[in-house]
Amino acid sequence: MKCLDLDSTHTTLHLLENQPTSPLFFFLNTFSPMEEVGSVLHFLQNKTILIAGGTGFLAKILLEKILRVQPNVKKIFLLLRASDANSATYRLHNEIIGKDLFIVLKEKLGSNFKSFIAEKVTLVPGDITYEGLGLKDSTLREEICNQTDVIVNLAATTNFDERYDIALDLNTFGVKYVMNFAKQCTKLKVLLHVSTAYVCGERGGLILEDPYHFGETLNGVSGLDIDAEKTIVCNKLDELREQGATERDVKIAMKNLGISRAKVYGWPNTYVFTKAVGEMLVEKLKGNLSVVIIRPTIVTSTMKEPFPGWVEGIRTIDSLAVTYGKGKLTCFLGDINGVVDVVPADMVVNAMLVAMVAHAKQPSDIIYHVGSSLRNPLTYLNLQDFGLKYFTAKPWIKKDGTPVKVGRVTVLTSMDSFQRYMFIRYLLPLKGLELANTALCQYFQGTYLELNRKIQVVMRMVELYRPYMFFSGLFDDMNTEKLRMAAEQSGTEIDMFYFDTKEINWEDYFMKTHLPGVVKYIFK
């Protein structure tokens, strides 16, 4: 399906939103469960929150935001994958509060910072891949079940090329165990499950904020069953052990198994497949719980808080930017005019907090896309222009002290053109090297093997990311916009909990915030 025409889509939506006789006007202006959102700060006061996946990028930003804006939060249980309290404490100090992210809070509290963290944050050593979240301390378990008002599940692996056994345990069965645990929390008001907008697979057009029902697939193939998938994994691992496979062989086999199983049901990779099935489990197991599913798009550095440009890890578009800045990106594969849906991390966290408050008052079952493609689209051509402008003004400096000169890259608009490019530029020289290596008694064997390995890595990465470089979908955010409007109208601190992506000036954000943040992270 072709990508929607952005100008006509926006014009149509604008007209519909402002026509009193329009069904869309009625939809946007009718009463809803979130008409009265109220104060986020008031809601957080004296609340107890369980955050699963505390070392993740968004989890850290969420933790910092709550502690900074509402110091009267009662308690935050931070579930960390750890064998004991000492391991959890080590992770807290080294992977969370030791990060630059917390510098504003540290400056605000001064010498009271450590005592404040000790008072407000309770570490929970555990593992969501086990029933009961792997909690060994029965007293702590009882305390969590009796006191928790909100659960936020951020625990996941986001690696597109993850081992299937790991992704299935974390992204799918982990959700099952979180849902089962949530039902034991007697005071629970709402559960937020953070997924990804890309559970849609490779679908194009307007992608709605619709749920997945258990067993539903993207291609209509029946028989999707998570217990059966677990059995397939276990059988494959047993088979590999019997064959005496090395750990490397097991890793490769598990990665390949994940991709093949995802494709059976219409998803392009292990990550989005296991996240989609995780969503299905939320729907299936929610019972009477008030549940919110948050689907962010590509999450980038903070736009404003706690300060602009905080980023951790190099994500998809960041790896492109860094490779380009270093002068090593010679070509771009994809639709250069295609929309890339990006959203700053602090906006995602703010949307989560407002949704938390909106749906804590009564049972609900809703999905929010948090992104920008429909209301403020950004294209790969925009990114190329920003990269050229930024790295021309502030060039990457090589080890010898000389600046890297950047220019326009070759754009390959199809897989056929990419394969021709690879054949001429790399595969032919590799074939020549192979012949020379044979003629000269394996003299070039090391060089040949290394070049061949790099080419195989590139081809695998291209296959993994191809669906996104040619992605033609736009993420409908009607629910998210209704939430924002309701918050704006009902006294929510919208300036503090902003998430209107329409307000982003992309050139300012990339030139002054995101790219400087990425470069700073690289040189730490």
Q: What is the 3-state secondary structure (H, E, C) of 471-502?
A: CCEEECCHHHHHHHHHHHHCCCCCCCCCCCHH
**DSSP string covering 106-119, please?**
HHHHGGGHHHHHHH
Q: What is the pLDDT of residue 411?
A: 84
Residue range 135-162, pLDDT digits in tens: 989 999 999 999 999 999 999 998 888 9
Helix (H, G, I), strand (E, B) or coil at 76: strand
CATH number of the domain residue 231 falls in: 3.40.50.720
pLDDT of residue 4: 43
Residue 400 resides in a domain: no
Please indicate whether residue 437 or residue 60 has the higher confidence score (pLDDT).
60
Confidence bin at 236 (pLDDT 50/70/90)? very high
Q: Is 275 a catalytic residue?
A: yes
Is residue 444's pLDDT more than 70?
no
**In which band, very low, low, confident or very high, does the pLDDT at 37 lie, cut at 50, 70 and 90?**
confident
Q: Which residues contact 111 (CB under 8 A, 6 or more apart)?
A: none
Instruction: Please tell me whether the peptide bond between 306 and the residue prior to it is cis, using omega within 30 degrees of 0.
Output: yes
Residue 311 lies in a domain: no
pLDDT confidence of residue 1: 35
Element (H, E) at 434: helix 428-439
Q: Is the pLDDT of residue 467 over 80?
A: no
Given the residues 65, 275, 286, 482, the one annotated as active site: 275
- Say if 369 falls within a structural domain: yes
Number of domains forming the structure of the chain = 1
- The first and second tokens of residue 287, run together, are 């019972």
Q: How far apart are the first and last CA of the chain?
A: 43
48-52 and 150-153 beta bridge pairing: parallel
DSSP notation for 339-389: B--EEEHHHHHHHHHHHHHHTSSS--EEEEEE-STTTS--BHHHHHHHHHH
List Cβ neighbours of 84 (8 Å cut-off, separation of 6 or more): 125
Q: Are strands 291-296 and 365-370 parallel, antiparallel or unpaired?
A: parallel
Residue 14 predicted with pLDDT over 80? no
Structure tokens at 248: 């490397």
Catalytic residue among 177, 212, 265, 271: 271
The CA-atom distances, in angstroms, between 14 and each of 8, 342, 374, 479 are 10, 22, 12, 16
377-416 residue pLDDT tens? 999 999 999 999 999 999 999 888 899 999 988 888 877 7
Query: What pLDDT does 32 receive?
Result: 46
**DSSP per-residue string spanning 201-213:** TT--EEEP-PPPP
Radius of gyration of the chain (CA): 24
Please indicate, yes or no, if residue 32 is contained in any of the structural domains: no
State yes or no: pLDDT of 43 exceeds 70: yes
Task: Report how far apart, in Å, the C-alpha atoms of 486 and of each of 33, 36, 37, 349, 492 are.
Answer: 10, 6, 6, 17, 9
Does residue 397 lie within any of the structural domains?
A: no
Is residue 166 included in any domain, yes or no?
Answer: yes
Q: Which residues contact 326 (CB under 8 A, 6 or more apart)?
A: 396, 404
Domain contains 229: yes
Would you call 65 exposed, middle or buried from its count of C-beta atoms within 10 A (0-12, 13-18, 19+)?
buried
- The per-residue pLDDT for 30 is 40
Q: How far is C-alpha 393 from the geometric centre of its chain's CA atoms?
A: 30
**Token match 């890595």: residue?**
457
Indicate if the pLDDT at residue 19 is higher than 90: no
d(CA 386, CA 364): 41
Beta bridge partners of 152: 51, 192
CA distance 192 to 206: 24
Helix (H, G, I), strand (E, B) or coil at 334: coil
Beta bridge partners of 80: 125
Q: Is-contact 395 406, C-beta < 8 A? A: yes
The pLDDT score that the predictor gives to residue 373 is 96
Instruction: Name, in order, each residue with C-beta under 8 angstroms of 48's C-beta and a sequence gap of 6 or more.
Output: 74, 75, 76, 77, 147, 148, 149, 150, 187
Output the pTM of the full model. 0.88
**Average pLDDT in the chain:** 88
SS3 267: coil
What is the residue range of 266's domain?
40-304+341-375+472-503
Burial, 180: exposed, middle or buried (Cβ in 10 Å; 0-12, 13-18, 19+)?
middle
In a domain, 214, yes or no: yes
Q: What is the DSSP letter of 39?
A: -
Tell whether the model's pLDDT for residue 26 goes beyond 50: no
Asked if 452 contacts 430 with a C-beta cutoff of 8 angstroms, the reply is yes
Neighbour-count burial of 444, counting CB atoms closer than 10 A to its CB (0-12 exposed, 13-18 middle, 19+ buried): middle
